[in-house]
Amino acid sequence: MFTLLETKAIDGQENTYSNIFSEKFYEVQPYITESNHGLLDYLVVTSKEFWDKLPSDIRPIVKKDLDEAIVYGNSKAIQLDQEAKEKIIASKRSQIITITPDEREQWVKAMKPVWKKFENEIGKDVIDAAYSSNM
């Protein structure tokens, strides 16, 4: 992606600040649009089969520990992302543009037909929850 941005073969990319910084995309893209359209979050996924094989007295302990680890990991990811953003700003290589609430609403309006198209496949409740969590 770096080379594609550098040679102008592509106009942009979508990523977290931590990835934009670590991959040095900010060095070859003059602007970063901060849209806050996504969520920086991590989770642990396992199969039901694996989970069900754990002894029933162990499952609550593992669940509690995983919940705590996820909260900690996500807080560290957010911290690292903010630090990366500050380093990008300090570099003066890329200008960060934050969209206005009106511009964000235009994006939401443009996406509503796409959400509607996938309602039956994804579930309206999931789409509504995603929208509500990112307001």
Q: Tell me, what's the pLDDT at 131?
A: 84
Q: Structural domain boundaries of the chain?
A: 2-98, 101-135
Question: What are 80-134's pLDDT values in tens digits?
Answer: 999 999 999 999 999 999 999 999 999 889 999 999 999 999 999 999 888 888 7
CA 78 and chain centroid, separation = 10
Q: Tell me, what's the pLDDT at 90?
A: 98
CA distance 75 to 96: 23
Classified as helix, coil or strand, 31 is strand
Question: What are 41-70's pLDDT values in tens digits?
Answer: 888 999 999 999 999 999 999 999 999 999
Rounded to the nearest 5 percent, the helix, strand and coil shares of the chain are 60, 5, 30
CA distance 67 to 75: 12
Q: Tell me, what's the pLDDT at 36?
A: 82
Q: Tell me, what's the pLDDT at 20?
A: 97
